[in-house]
Structure 1
């Protein structure tokens, strides 16, 4: 969720109007409105006061989460698949990349998304699937040494199949 959506959601939950929020923070009503619509962002010095006013942490305000739940992971992957099918692979891939950048330390999510992107290159018959090989390979190798054994094993298996598909048997054997 974008910061503007978070501000709007928690402002409404606190039953504050934009005017009341603006008065509490010493800003204008149009400033609050712009935050909520995403046309601008609050000054960094206002992040803590906004969070305190809304009764949330700055992490929540900034939508910062280290890990995702299995349900959240599945929802993001389903959305990526829908985007690939409806908007094309390049568009779905770009959207998925942005999501992976949002959660750079959530290995389970990133490896599962890479698997999805890897497989869907062939499901939807991308004309130049090898264009994406480097990034997908990098994701698999990045998580080979994950502290989470399940993530490391999934990355290893994915890298094995990735290598076999490209007839790179030496890499697959490693």
Structure 2
């Protein structure tokens, strides 16, 4: 059993570190559900939920696995490095974009043209052409 420290450790500079919130933020930025992230790492969705809500503490291996799956540094997940903030993307939109990217180029072009027309009809100008 470890001995108690005689001297108190200095407080961390960031008192509001919430590792669970960081996991949730980067999981959603990647457009992943808890189930998808869990499958990618090889654990259960319940465990992902427990990490995100702070019910379970991360061990070193899980920090590494999450940082690799979410493509952010371990320091970012732990709240040591500044938050790598990207504009949040809707999970539904992100999932649909992945499906569109898996279509053949001809089908992608046709679908993007349909989306461009819908946006134009809604009074929103599409800045990218459907030919990309």
**Superposition TM-score tier, normalisation by shorter sequence:** 0.3 to 0.5
Tell which has more relative contact order, 1 or 2 (C-alpha 8 A, sep 6+). Answer: 2
Give TM-score scaled by structure 2 length: 0.47
Name the structure where helix makes up a greater proportion of residues.
Answer: 1
TM-score (norm 1): 0.36
